[in-house]
Amino acid sequence: MKYLLSAIAAGMIFAAGMTAQAQTVGFADAIKILAVSCGADIDKYCKSATLANNGIGQCLDQNQAKVSQKCNADRAVVAGLIAERLAAQAAAPKICARDASQYCKGVKPGAGHILRCLLKAQPSVSEKCNTAIDLAGYR
């Protein structure tokens, strides 16, 4: 049942505007998704909770038995998608290293210069690197 709810929630998230290729989510999109599915629960159980130090998340955890199934399912899915985004961001430099050395010779590393170069060279960059850039949320 838990997996079914997660699958339904994932489908709803993708239907809510994420592209079919995207398998990660950024914080802004996560907030939008959770505002829809958890808004009523936050109003009901966590009205006095603060955004600081994950106050709302902690409140929802403490009230998990009372919070709607949709909210709980979406929180799990969104947490997984954010974890995937962070992992993709950590992996992208290694995955794109060969492309960077081939297409970005002479580009000074740091401040996003290599990423900008790879984005400009998108048609020539390998599929693996382009996918890594997309999953990392850089495009």
Q: What is the DSSP letter of 51?
A: S
Number of domains observed in the structure of the chain: 2
Same domain, 10 and 55: yes
Which residue range is the domain that position 67 belongs to?
1-87
In the predicted structure, residue 9 carries a pLDDT above the cut 50: no
Which whole number is the average pLDDT over 14-19?
39
Mean pLDDT score of the chain:
84
Cα–Cα distance for residue pair 68/63, rounded to 1 Å: 10
53-58: long-range contacts at Cβ-Cβ below 8 A with a sequence spacing of 24 or more?
none
Same domain, 79 and 37: yes
Q: What is the pTM of this model?
A: 0.69
Same domain, 101 and 75: no
Same domain, 27 and 77: yes
Same domain, 61 and 117: no
What pLDDT shows up at residue 22? 52
Q: In this predicted model, what pLDDT tens digit does every residue of 107-139 receive, in sequence order?
A: 988 899 999 999 999 999 999 999 999 999 998
Q: In this predicted model, what pLDDT tens digit does every residue of 80-98 receive, in sequence order?
A: 999 999 999 999 999 999 9
Same domain, 15 and 75: yes
Last residue of a domain, one of 49, 68, 87: 87
Measured from the Cβ of residue 20, the count of other Cβ atoms closer than 10 Å reads: 6
Which whole number is the average pLDDT over 17-33?
70
What pLDDT shows up at residue 135? 92
Instruction: Give me the helix-helix angle, 27-45 and 55-62, nearest 10°.
Output: 50
Same domain, 62 and 79: yes
In the predicted structure, residue 14 carries a pLDDT above the cut 80: no
Q: In this predicted model, what pLDDT tens digit does every residue of 35-69 receive, in sequence order?
A: 999 999 999 999 999 888 889 999 999 999 999 99
**pLDDT band at 21; cut points 50, 70, 90:** very low
Same domain, 66 and 122: no
